[in-house]
Amino acid sequence: MSALTVTFALLFYAATAVLVLGVGFKIALYARTPAPLKIATTPAPTTPGGVALRLTREVVFFESLFRSSKWTWLFGWMFHAGLLLVVLRHLRYFQQPVWTPVVWVQAIGTYAGFAMAAGLAGLWARRFFVDRVRYISTPSDHLHLALLLAIAGSGLAMRFVAHTDIVALKAFMLGLMRFNWQPLPADPVLLVHLTLVALLMIVFPISKLMHAPGLLFSPTRNQVDNPREARHLSAWAAALEK
């Protein structure tokens, strides 16, 4: 077994552990955080079913972002839709046999990487050219976008410029899942791509990228607008009254 294979196998085990445990910890923290006030953003739904529908529209269509900024919505939706298709396409490296829906998405998933990269470029450009956004942008905002764009760029380079041995790559990924390590191709672009992906997995739980699951715990989005019909009492306040 080569040192390269061992290094990347251990790297991905560590990155997966950090991602799963870190995201799980943050979600548990979000769930325990008290919401002492009714602060649903109006117009807000007045029933739990309406809240579920509102969250669905936010997750799928970015409804509030569309109302706020059409250009930001366009670039953001392009990136997230492209990312979803790219992730679905990459599932083939972890399945044997490959699920039929994953086979269907292969063709469009190939070119979804361009939509992903274009969306990221647009989101990054607004942090330079929109004054109010540039003012509040931090170095970490730029680094996150640069990391995601580098991942998209290196992935597209492997697909259209410097091809790699995808059969050997799939064997390596399946071997990681089955604890039966297989040799990893030593292609430079592939190694850069995998390193960047592992880095993303590690920084995800401690970055603003946690807005993905965090949206579901936002009290301005997940609360029923019924302060007149029912008194809102958070769990910690109810405990004090006993």
Q: What is the SS3 assignment for 183-234? A: CCCCCHHHHHHHHHHHHHHHHHHHCHHHHHHHHHHCHHHHCCCCCCCCCCCC
Looking at residue 242, what is its pLDDT? Answer: 63
DSSP string, 124-164: HHHHHH-HHHHHH--HHHHHHHHHHHHHHHHHHHHHHTS--
| Pair 44, 54: CB distance under 8 Å | yes
Looking at residue 241, what is its pLDDT? Answer: 64
**76: which residues sit within 8 A by CB, 6+ positions away?**
62, 65, 119, 123
Instruction: Provide the residue-wise pLDDT of the chain in tens; the chain has 242 residues.
Output: 799 999 999 999 999 999 999 999 999 999 988 877 788 888 889 899 999 999 999 999 999 999 999 999 999 999 999 999 999 999 999 999 999 999 999 989 889 999 999 999 999 999 999 999 999 999 999 999 999 999 999 999 999 998 899 999 999 999 999 999 999 999 999 999 999 999 999 999 999 999 999 999 998 899 888 877 777 666 777 777 66
Domain range for residue 172? 3-241
Query: Counting Cβ atoms within 10 Å, is residue 40 exposed (0-12), middle (13-18) or buried (19+)?
Result: buried
| Pair 214, 28: CB distance under 8 Å | no
Handedness of CA 18, 20, 24, 27 (dihedral sign): positive
CATH number at residue 149: 1.20.950.20
> CA torsion, points 65, 66, 71, 73, in degrees to nearest 10?
60
The domain total for the chain is 1
- pTM for this entry: 0.90
